[in-house]
Amino acid sequence: MKKISLGIITLLLASPLLATQVIASDDCNTVRAKYQCSTQKHKLHLSFDDGVGSVTPKILDILKRENIKATFLVLGNKVDCKKHLAGTKSLQLCKQRFATLQRIKREGHDIGSHSYEHYHHSKLSPVELTKTIMDSRRILEPYFTTEPAIFRLPYGDGMFNQKEQPQVMEALKKAKFFHLGWEMTAYDWNEKYQHGDQILDNVLGQLCGNGKKGRNGVVLFHDGVFENEHEGRVFTANNLARWIPKMRCVADFKPLLFFKKNLKKK
């Protein structure tokens, strides 16, 4: 008996992956019961908006450890380092963000545009609309990972209201972007949910349906804060490692192209 216990302990110490699975399986019945999940696993893809932020490397570390490929929708202005003056702190921070953008690409995640400025795109003049879209392409083009390149509108403005404001989606189409929406949202930008596991509750509530029909697809998180040049979504970065094993109880993580058959890897 003593020998077997020691064997298990050795195995756990030797294999961090196995340790994650063992911890997760202990919690999984509780997770399934809490969100009334079916026994069949859902399919999920993580996406992050408003970066690059100072917390993005922490998120990349977690994704690497968990062997998950995600999608980052980057704001062009966060990595446009030419606009900063030489020798300034803001240039130094921009260079750090730029290095993180390179790391996102190197580690095999998908990258798309979240425009250059975080504007309400339906409120822009035709000239301003084209400018912010094309400025993001100018900065991010070498880092796009798909053909066509993906774009996600800030606030979904121009997507939700495309019947009334068709010019936004038309401008994206003209600029040869594919608009990436989302099936679920974590509401992690909203401070009222930044306590305990309320953000996980938001995601798994939508995924499993809380007794109603659940969903599959892309979930919207944030790694950046668009108003703040450098900081990111600290709460998300600090808690993601704890949430992923619980998501894994009820969902398999899939790459973006699993859901978007019209996209090709660039």
Site mask, Zn ion, residues 125-164, x = CB under 5 A? Answer: -----------------------------x----------
**Spatial distance between the Cα atoms of 186 and 204, rounded to a whole number of angstroms:** 9
146-147 and 264-265 beta bridge pairing: antiparallel
Contacting Zn ion (CB under 5 A), which of 31, 42, 47, 50? 50
Q: How far is the CB of 157 from Zn ion (least distance, A)?
A: 10
Segment 203 to 262, residues that bind Zn ion, using CB under 5 A: none
Show Cβ contacts of residue 15 under 8 Å, excluding neighbours closer than 6 positions: none
Q: How far is the CB of 109 from Zn ion (least distance, A)?
A: 17
Q: What are the two backbone dihedrals, phi and then psi, of residue 87, each rounded to the nearest 5 degrees?
A: 80, 0
Question: If binding is defined by CB under 5 A, does position 110 make contact with Zn ion?
Answer: no
Q: How far is the CB of 115 from Zn ion (least distance, A)?
A: 9
Site stretch for Zn ion (CB under 5 A), options 47-55, 91-99, 200-208, 244-252: 47-55
Name the nearest CA neighbour of 113 among 29, 182, 178.
178
35 versus 72: smaller Cβ distance to Zn ion: 72
Q: How far is the CB of 154 from Zn ion (least distance, A)?
A: 4
Q: How far is the CB of 214 from Zn ion (least distance, A)?
A: 25
117 versus 201: smaller Cβ distance to Zn ion: 117
Site stretch for Zn ion (CB under 5 A), options 48-56, 60-68, 105-113, 172-180: 48-56
Question: If binding is defined by CB under 5 A, does position 49 make contact with Zn ion?
Answer: yes
If you ran DSSP here, which 8-state letter would residue 41 be given?
P
Q: How far is the CB of 49 from Zn ion (least distance, A)?
A: 4
Question: If binding is defined by CB under 5 A, does position 188 make contact with Zn ion?
Answer: no
Bridge partner residues of 264 (DSSP): 147
Are 221 and 47 in contact by the 8 Å Cβ rule? The answer is yes
Spacing of C-alpha 155 from chain mean position: 15
Residues that bind Zn ion (CB under 5 A): 49-50, 154
